[in-house]
Amino acid sequence: MPRAVSAALPSSTHWRGIGVGAMLTVVVAVGAWWFWPGTPLVPETAALARELLDTGGTADRQALRRVMTNVDRMTREQITQLWRSVGEEWRRLRQQAVDRYFLAPAVEKPRLLDDEIARLAALRDLTIALHPDANSDQPPRLPQEILRSPDRAREPADPTARRAEADRRAVIKRYEEALAAHAKSRGVRLPQIR
């Protein structure tokens, strides 16, 4: 006796089960990939941030997307650790820029100030990328990890150290004034960062 045609073809329930199984497999694979502890996010993201600050200027959009993706996957403690790392790097680069500026001959100073303006633009883009809920239309807000140096947490007790700290702040203020004057003379607005 010939078999019925309907018995030879798999039922729609069979295909639905295969589809649901395939979708569950994809969801589990994506979840495992997303939460897999692969590369440590903080060191990788800090390295990307260092690279963005070192190059200055218009930030690499692909690197910024990678930073944002990593920040979205981080815990609050990891984000704080990342901000500390970026803050240390920013303070190091800023101090190098100040030192170079005051040691450079007068003909090199405009180029050094241009480099700093480019670095500030990169810092603005990086700050927006590091804030999961940042609004790119508003000036980004720097957390205290960037603004406050660990050595400035309290005023030094030693009068010599206090004088050295006051001198350091005066030098930085002169540098910032020179930077603002240079930007104004070029008709460039310094990136707004709060």
List, for residues 77-92, the tens digit of each pLDDT value: 888 899 888 888 888 9
Please, is 119 exposed, middle or buried when counting C-beta atoms within 10 Å of its C-beta (0-12, 13-18, 19+)? Answer: buried
List, for residues 2-52, the tens digit of each pLDDT value: 555 555 555 666 667 677 666 767 666 666 555 555 558 889 989 888 888
Cα–Cα distance, 112 to 102 (Å, whole number) = 10
For residue 88, give the nearest of 135, 40, 37, 42 by alpha carbon.
42
Position 152 pLDDT exceeds 60: no
Overall average pLDDT of the 171-187 stretch = 93
For residue 120, give the nearest of 175, 191, 178 by alpha carbon.
191
Confidence band for 126, pLDDT divided at 50, 70 and 90: confident
Q: Which DSSP symbol is given to 138?
A: S
33 or 124: which leads in pLDDT = 124
Specify the pLDDT at position 134. 67
Q: What percent of the chain has pLDDT over 70?
A: 66
Cα–Cα distance, 145 to 49 (Å, whole number) = 15
Cα–Cα distance, 7 to 14 (Å, whole number) = 12
Residue written as tokens 């979205």? 72
Cα–Cα distance, 180 to 113 (Å, whole number) = 9
Position 131 pLDDT exceeds 90: no
Overall average pLDDT of the 97-118 stretch = 93
pTM: 0.68
